[in-house]
Amino acid sequence: MKALQTEAKIENLQPVLGFLEEYLEDMDCPPALTMQLQVALEELFTNICFYAYAPASGDVLIMLDKQDSILKIYLADKGIPFDPTAKEDPDISLDASQRPVGGLGIYMVKQIVDRMEYQRVGEMNVLCLTADLNKVGKHGKI
C-alpha cells in the first residue's frame, strides 16, 4: 500500500497523477490502461478540489493498493458529503447541439474501472475504485 496526502487543489494534479503513474509503472501496466486510470483519478481528484471544501481548502488522501491483479485506488477527504456513485449518467446518444457541456467525468470513471464504491465514514468521504489489471483489452479498460 502506498499513500499520498496533499492539499486538494488543481496545482497538485500533476504530482497526484505522477504518483499513480509511478505505481503502475512498477507493475508493468500497459500505457493505454495507465492513461485511463489517470483519467479516472483526475476526474475524482478535481471534483474534490472544486467542491469538497469550497470556498475553504483541505487535504485529500490517496492510497494505492494491489493484491494479485486487483488494483484499488482510495480517495478520502473531509469535505461536504458527496456520493459520485449516485450521480445520474449523462445521455451519450445526444447530438452535439443537444449535449450539455460537462458532466462526463464521473461517467468516464464508471466506464474505466470495474467498480466504484462510496462510503461516508464519520466526517470523511471515502471512494474506492477497483480495477482488475488482468481484465484489460487491447486499448485498456474501455
Partner 1 sequence: MEITQKREDNNFEIAISGRLDTVSSPQLQSEMEAVTAEAESVVLDLKDLEYISSAGLRVILLVKKAMDQKGTLVLKNVSETVMAILDVTGFSTILTIENDKEQVEPHESTAD
Residues contributing to the site for partner 1 (CB under 8 A): 10-11, 13-14, 17, 31-32, 35-36, 38-39, 42-43, 46, 92-97, 99, 101-102, 104-105, 107-108, 111-112, 138-140, 142
Residue with Cβ nearer partner 1 (30 or 65): 30
Q: How far is the CB of 83 from partner 1 (least distance, A)?
A: 19
CA dihedral defined by 140, 17, 23, 112, rounded to 10 degrees? -30
Residue with Cβ nearer partner 1 (123 or 138): 138
Q: How far is the CB of 12 from partner 1 (least distance, A)?
A: 10
Q: How far apart are CA 15 and CA 117, in angstroms?
A: 24
* CB-CB contact of 136 with 84 (8 Å): no
Q: How far is the CB of 64 from partner 1 (least distance, A)?
A: 19
Residue with Cβ nearer partner 1 (35 or 61): 35
Q: In sequence order, what E strands does 16-140 have?
A: 59-67, 70-77, 115-121, 124-132
* CB-CB contact of 130 with 120 (8 Å): no
Give me 138's grid cell: 487491447
Q: How far is the CB of 23 from partner 1 (least distance, A)?
A: 17
Picking from 111, 8, 20, 108, the residue whose alpha carbon sits closest to that of residue 65 is 20
Place of cell 487491447: 138
Residue with Cβ nearer partner 1 (65 or 87): 87
Residue with Cβ nearer partner 1 (6 or 46): 46
Q: How far is the CB of 123 from partner 1 (least distance, A)?
A: 26
